[in-house]
Amino acid sequence: ECGDELFTASGSKLISPGWMEIQLDLEAEVDKALPDYTQGERVALASIRLHEGRTSPPGYLTESELIGLMERNGIGTDASIATHINNIQTRNYVALGAGRTLVPTELGIVLIHGLSDIDEELVAP
């Protein structure tokens, strides 16, 4: 902690190279262990750089990405997933955009906000 700012650090250490053993250049990228610090220990800063930026929202899902997410999260069956995606388009919750992305419509956005007001878990990822 420095003033009102909280700083954190993380590192990694390769235990077993596995498949990376044949790609030597990857091993150097993965093994980034931190020195042995203890919590609360004071450290000298080598440099400080202030950067102001903005995050950008993730892009819209494509149909195939949505299918993959539904399968991984146990939503629908192989036989019903296509029907679910068709239903959200037919009901005008999403429109098919460039690159087969599913772009939320105004109705879809209002629906999500309404469900969120009822129970946040209904719309949480």
For residue 1, the model assigns a pLDDT of 63
Question: Per the structure, how many domains does the chain have?
Answer: 1
* 101 within some domain: yes
* 6 within some domain: no
* 15 within some domain: no
Q: What is the pLDDT of residues 8-44, one digit of tens each?
A: 777 777 777 666 665 555 555 556 677 788 888 888 7
* 68 within some domain: yes
CA-closest candidate to residue 11, choices 39, 31, 26: 31
Residue-number span of the structural domain to which 77 is assigned = 63-122
- Check which CATH number belongs to the domain holding 105 and give it: 1.10.460.10
- CA contacts within 13 A on the Cβ side of 5: 5
CA distance 32 to 19: 18
Q: What is the pLDDT of residues 42-101, one digit of tens each?
A: 887 777 777 788 878 889 999 999 999 999 989 999 999 999 999 999 999 999 999 999
